[in-house]
Amino acid sequence: MEYVLVLLGAYLIGSIPSGLIVGKVFYGIDIRQHGSGNLGGTNTFRTLGKKAGITVTLADILKGTIVILLTKFIGVDMHPLIAGIFAVVGHMFPIFAGFRGGKAVATSGGILLGYVPILFILLVLVFLLSLKLTKYVSLSSILAGVFAVIYSLFTRDIPLILVAVALASFVIIRHRTNIKRIINKTEPKVKWI
């Protein structure tokens, strides 16, 4: 029963729709009706601007980190990354937003921040370097996910390897349409970096 409560709690924390809350409360806008229709940080940046985008991205990262830290703090006999996966699933399919959520990037980063902070820092650097070179947020997110898998292979931490593969898979699958647009050269590029 304890495991079920922890996993349910992780899912519910992950389900908090930061983009929807920020959009509706502070801007009177449902961002699902604008841009890509996605609840994540990228669509928030494009729809509501830099301040809202940063707020939503940080909130989504925090959801993953909180779940990892709470799982460790509670002392439940469960690997914290298992709870982290449930937070990411909650972010992608939030019960509080009709199961239409984000693309798993920020919350995945958040669970890695809570578990292996140095990996999170390296992921941010990989993401920003790729973004500087390509101007594609989607491609940079995918490359960061692939980097997480490569990094994890050197740790010999089996749970981390499995979760990094799962998270990278989530990110790639959730960016299928973006990949097609990159191939067709119709994917929007960022202009601020």
Per-residue model confidence (pLDDT) at position 38: 86
Domain ranges of the chain: 2-183
C-beta separation of 113 from 61 below 8 A:
yes
Per-residue model confidence (pLDDT) at position 116: 97
Distance, in Å, from the CA atom of 49 to the CA atom of 42, rounded to the nearest integer, reads: 10
Two structure tokens written together for 76? 């439940």
**Residue 122, number of CB atoms within 10 A of its CB:** 16
**142-181 confidence digits (pLDDT tens):** 999 999 999 999 999 999 999 999 999 999 999 999 999 9
* Measured torsion, CA atoms of residues 171, 176, 177, 179, in degrees rounded to the nearest 10: 90
pTM of the model: 0.93
Q: Could you identify the residue written with the tokens 């941010």?
A: 124
Per-residue model confidence (pLDDT) at position 191: 79
Per-residue model confidence (pLDDT) at position 37: 83
**151-160 confidence digits (pLDDT tens):** 999 999 999 9
DSSP letters, 131-176, are: HHHH--HHHHHHHHHHHHHHHHHTTT-HHHHHHHHHHHHHHHHHTH
**Residue 172, number of CB atoms within 10 A of its CB:** 18
Distance, in Å, from the CA atom of 15 to the CA atom of 107, rounded to the nearest integer, reads: 10
* pLDDT per 10-residue tile (average), the chain, 193 residues: 92 96 93 87 90 95 97 90 97 93 94 97 97 95 97 96 97 94 90 74
